[in-house]
Chains A and B, each alone.
Chain A
Amino acid sequence: MGNNIKKNSILIVDDEEIVRESLTKWFIQDGFRVEAAEHANAALKLMEKGPWDVVILDIKMPGMSGLELLKRLREIDKSSQVIMATAFASVESAVQALKDGAFDYVTKPIDPDHLSHLVANAIQQKVLEDQNTQLRQHINDLTGSNEIVGESPQIKRVIDLSLTVAQTDTTVMIRGESGTGKELIARTIHANSARRYFPIITVNCGAVAETLLESELFGHERGAFTGAQYRRKGKFEMADGGTIFLDEIGTVSAKMQIELLRVIETKQFTRVGGNELISSDFRVICATNRNLEAAIKDGSFREDLYYRLNVFSISIPPIRERRMDIPQLAQFFVSKYAGIMNRPMKEISADAMDLLVRYDWPGNVRELENVIERAMVLADGDTIRPTDLPFQNVVKHDAPKDDTLAAIERQHVEVILGTTHWNITHAAEILDIDRVTLYNKIAKYGLKKP
């Protein structure tokens, strides 16, 4: 909200009532102080209530024309930015208006996107000087919240690295298993960078069909392909000034890898079906859970793109490697969903917390969040209990009956089978043995699927 920011002011001068009304409403909702005048004399009177940051001035009005009024307004206040508007555009009137000091010239009806940008540009210089300090503080407040939860040395290291690299404009690659919070780290880097006053644009490269990814990233011109009725901006264009977060970068095709390499190097591109070269100032953060080094070896990922992206690497540890953070994370999600569901806070019983801490979380923080959300729905009363958790297959970590290697191995195999719901392939991967060996161990220890 612009609560803490001085309102910019706009004076609308137009003889049509419906135009004055709709523009007044439009700019009031955008947070401007607005006055409207139906003719030149009324506008000149309203100049006493100025200074006005922007004046939108109709050219064709009864009495004194817009072009004449423009000269008078410039004599009174040169700092006002005047945008001339007309339903009857002509080169002569446009040239004359610009010569007489108008900021720009538009034809009615005006494209709302164009109008927004036009007014924003007109007041930019003035606003920047007056509001820079307040705006920075305001956006700091908005983006300052930190959802990265945990006290373990592993996660603290990740946070430290994120805050360090945030101070630079370096390209960052975030590695980590699915659900570890790669996007959250990307947002943290952005929110603590000098680019935080501009947006972070997320593109999930794996979720967009190959044929659409090019249009998604670079935009397209009207008529670029059948059905493209309107021009569309791409994600790189939207990220101008900010950050583009390319998630699942390991999934992009060989052709798109070449395009990405070129755009990341030059920061220039053309929209699909267009010729205009567009420049965009963006920072790249990418993420993957794929082994890109192996992908380079098997030829499915370009080495030059890898080195361009992997300038600064941050690896997020899976949750099973930082179990001490699980209680804090669980409490965080309980609090979050209590707010979303408009329900009172619940406690997590000691038994339930014990289960949460011992579970191996193949889906990492995302899975933990889903489990807590589900438990918040299921739990009766004010406590989340083991019966509210979907962990029937988890085997308890009782101390082995003896200290022999076989007893310890038996228990470990049993735990892994439980956490993977007896998915032999997955369990064998975690244990780093082949499936046949795992079957042999299951037989040897007489383990049975529950």
Chain B
Amino acid sequence: MAPIILVPLSPVPEDLIRSLASPLESIFRTTVTISDQINVSVESVYDSSRAQYNSTFLIKQLLENYSAPPFAGEKILGITSVDLFVPILTYVFGEAQLNGMTGVMSVYRLDETMYGMDADPVLLFERTLKEAVHELGHTFGLLHCRSFECSMHSSTTVEEVDLKSAGLCRHCSEHIGIK
């Protein structure tokens, strides 16, 4: 499996990102490192008319910074805490290149406080892990899965994120060559 690099895109809770490395290594059976070479700015993809950040542009920036050696062949996941969008949709939790190199995700809409609830760091970690597995799964070539409990199940609300597990189902695991 291709190694994974997590790229913290400020503003972002860095402790949360560090805590993702170990479970992601277990799930994808590959090495996970956290990049400290960050030349990507979320501010440059801010859309003032929507007060949101364009995730497609963020992916382009990540590609420009990480497509050359020594990163070629690795899977890059940018993680931020700003509200992401693509132009046709009101928001996205994340976006990734299918069978490509790069994905990006945000914890913004995974946070219980966004929904008027008390902060729940454990739940936030679980949701972040699920979303990270989901976007990385796309970069490994996985499509959305029909199993409600598979991380690759499509989820457009946090309730649906909570419904699934952080792991990949048997079909998805086999599809990318992990058993």
Q: Which residues of A contact B (CB under 8 A)?
A: 1-3, 5, 16, 18-19, 21-23, 25-26, 28-31, 85, 108-113, 115-116, 135, 138-139, 142, 199, 201, 212, 215, 220, 224-230, 232-233, 238, 339-340, 342
CB neighbors of A among B50-74 (8 A):
50, 56
- Asked if A112 and B156 make an inter-chain contact with CB atoms under 8 angstroms apart, the answer reads yes
- Asked if A1 and B87 make an inter-chain contact with CB atoms under 8 angstroms apart, the answer reads no
Assembled-state Cα–Cα distance A18/B95 (Å): 14
> What are 30 A-B pairs with beta-carbon distances under 8 A?
A1-B146, A1-B175, A2-B143, A2-B144, A2-B146, A16-B87, A22-B89, A25-B98, A26-B88, A26-B89, A28-B98, A29-B143, A30-B143, A109-B50, A111-B91, A112-B91, A113-B156, A113-B157, A115-B156, A116-B154, A135-B146, A139-B146, A142-B170, A199-B163, A215-B117, A224-B116, A228-B115, A230-B116, A238-B160, A238-B163
Instruction: Please classify how large the interface on chain B is, using the bins under 10, 10 to 19, 20 to 34, 35 or more.
Output: 35 or more
Assembled-state Cα–Cα distance A85/B87 (Å): 13
Closest 3 CB pairs of A and B: A228-B116, A227-B116, A22-B86
The answer, among A5, A112, A230, A238, for a CB contact under 8 Å with B92, is: A112
Assembled-state Cα–Cα distance A1/B179 (Å): 15
Enumerate chain B residues within 8 angstroms of A199, measured Cβ to Cβ. 148, 163
Enumerate chain A residues within 8 angstroms of B163, measured Cβ to Cβ. 199, 201, 238
| A202 (CB) vs chain B CBs: closest residue | B163
The verdict on A31 contacting B144 (CB below 8 Å), with A110-B88, A229-B114 known, is yes
The verdict on A142 contacting B85 (CB below 8 Å), with A233-B159, A238-B163 known, is no
Asked if B130 is an interface residue, CB under 8 A from chain A, the answer is: no
- Asked if A227 and B113 make an inter-chain contact with CB atoms under 8 angstroms apart, the answer reads yes
Assembled-state Cα–Cα distance A3/B169 (Å): 13
Query: What 1/0 flags go to B108-138 for Cβ under 8 Å of A?
Result: 0000011111000000000000000000001
Closest approach, in angstroms, between the C-beta of B152 and any C-beta of chain A? 8
The verdict on A342 contacting B86 (CB below 8 Å), with A113-B157, A226-B116 known, is no
| A209 (CB) vs chain B CBs: closest residue | B118
Q: Which of A29, A224, A225 has the most CB of B within 10 A?
A: A29
Assembled-state Cα–Cα distance A22/B92 (Å): 11
- Asked if A26 and B86 make an inter-chain contact with CB atoms under 8 angstroms apart, the answer reads yes
Assembled-state Cα–Cα distance A230/B98 (Å): 30
| A23 (CB) vs chain B CBs: closest residue | B88
Asked if B10 is an interface residue, CB under 8 A from chain A, the answer is: no
List 14 additional A-B contacts (Cβ < 8 Å) besides A1-B145, A31-B143, A227-B115: A2-B146, A22-B86, A108-B88, A112-B90, A139-B147, A142-B171, A227-B116, A227-B117, A228-B116, A229-B114, A233-B157, A238-B159, A238-B163, A340-B26
Assembled-state Cα–Cα distance A313/B29 (Å): 43
- Asked if A111 and B171 make an inter-chain contact with CB atoms under 8 angstroms apart, the answer reads no
Asked if B42 is an interface residue, CB under 8 A from chain A, the answer is: no
Query: What 1/0 flags go to B143-179 for Cβ under 8 Å of A?
Result: 1111110001010110110010000011110010001
- Asked if A109 and B156 make an inter-chain contact with CB atoms under 8 angstroms apart, the answer reads no
Asked if B21 is an interface residue, CB under 8 A from chain A, the answer is: no
The answer, among A111, A220, A230, for a CB contact under 8 Å with B89, is: A111
The answer, among A16, A201, A225, for a CB contact under 8 Å with B116, is: A225
Enumerate chain A residues within 8 angstroms of B159, measured Cβ to Cβ. 232-233, 238
Enumerate chain A residues within 8 angstroms of B92, measured Cβ to Cβ. 112
Asked if B16 is an interface residue, CB under 8 A from chain A, the answer is: no
| A225 (CB) vs chain B CBs: closest residue | B116
- Asked if A138 and B146 make an inter-chain contact with CB atoms under 8 angstroms apart, the answer reads yes
The verdict on A111 contacting B26 (CB below 8 Å), with A1-B145, A29-B98, A142-B147 known, is no
- Asked if A29 and B144 make an inter-chain contact with CB atoms under 8 angstroms apart, the answer reads yes
Assembled-state Cα–Cα distance A199/B45 (Å): 37
Enumerate chain B residues within 8 angstroms of A112, measured Cβ to Cβ. 89-92, 156
Asked if B12 is an interface residue, CB under 8 A from chain A, the answer is: no
The verdict on A342 contacting B90 (CB below 8 Å), with A142-B169, A229-B115 known, is no
Asked if B142 is an interface residue, CB under 8 A from chain A, the answer is: yes
- Asked if A22 and B175 make an inter-chain contact with CB atoms under 8 angstroms apart, the answer reads no
Closest approach, in angstroms, between the C-beta of B144 and any C-beta of chain A? 5
The answer, among A109, A138, A212, for a CB contact under 8 Å with B117, is: A212
Enumerate chain A residues within 8 angstroms of B26, measured Cβ to Cβ. 340, 342
- Asked if B144 and A230 make an inter-chain contact with CB atoms under 8 angstroms apart, the answer reads no
Assembled-state Cα–Cα distance A433/B138 (Å): 61
- Asked if B156 and A116 make an inter-chain contact with CB atoms under 8 angstroms apart, the answer reads yes
Assembled-state Cα–Cα distance A362/B149 (Å): 30
Enumerate chain B residues within 8 angstroms of A238, measured Cβ to Cβ. 159-160, 163
- Asked if B88 and A109 make an inter-chain contact with CB atoms under 8 angstroms apart, the answer reads yes
Assembled-state Cα–Cα distance A225/B115 (Å): 10
Assembled-state Cα–Cα distance A207/B160 (Å): 19
Enumerate chain B residues within 8 angstroms of A5, measured Cβ to Cβ. 146
Closest approach, in angstroms, between the C-beta of B57 and any C-beta of chain A? 10
Closest approach, in angstroms, between the C-beta of A131 and any C-beta of chain B? 10
